[in-house]
Amino acid sequence: MKKETDSEYKVRENRMRRVLQRRGYRLMKSKRRDPRAYDFGGYMIIDARTRCVVRGTETGLSFELSLDDVEAFTKE
């Protein structure tokens, strides 16, 4: 399997943002810049109307979703 480039990853991330926006959600990405941080590069799905977390904090840690997890959520 071919490794995804940075630009392909960003395109996929933006596509997930648009899909979620059409369904009334927002995709938030962790703002951590330290790659060793537990939530570096993670995502959280927020209900746009109520601003409640829908997915991404099940174990008490925020931004625990990967982009693959977000994509799986959009296919549910």
Residue-wise pLDDT for 18-75, tens only, equals 999 999 999 999 887 887 876 788 899 999 999 999 998 866 678 889 999 999 999 9
Using alpha carbons only, how large is the chain's radius of gyration in Å? 13
In this structure, is residue 46 part of a structural domain?
yes
In this structure, is residue 30 part of a structural domain?
yes
In this structure, is residue 15 part of a structural domain?
yes
**The pLDDT value given to residue 34:** 81
Q: Which residue range(s) make up the domain with 32?
A: 6-74
In this structure, is residue 1 part of a structural domain?
no
For the cut 70, the answer to whether the pLDDT of residue 1 exceeds it is: no
In this structure, is residue 17 part of a structural domain?
yes
**Domain count across the chain:** 1
Cβ-based neighbours of 13, under 8 Å, separated by 6 or more = 27, 29, 67
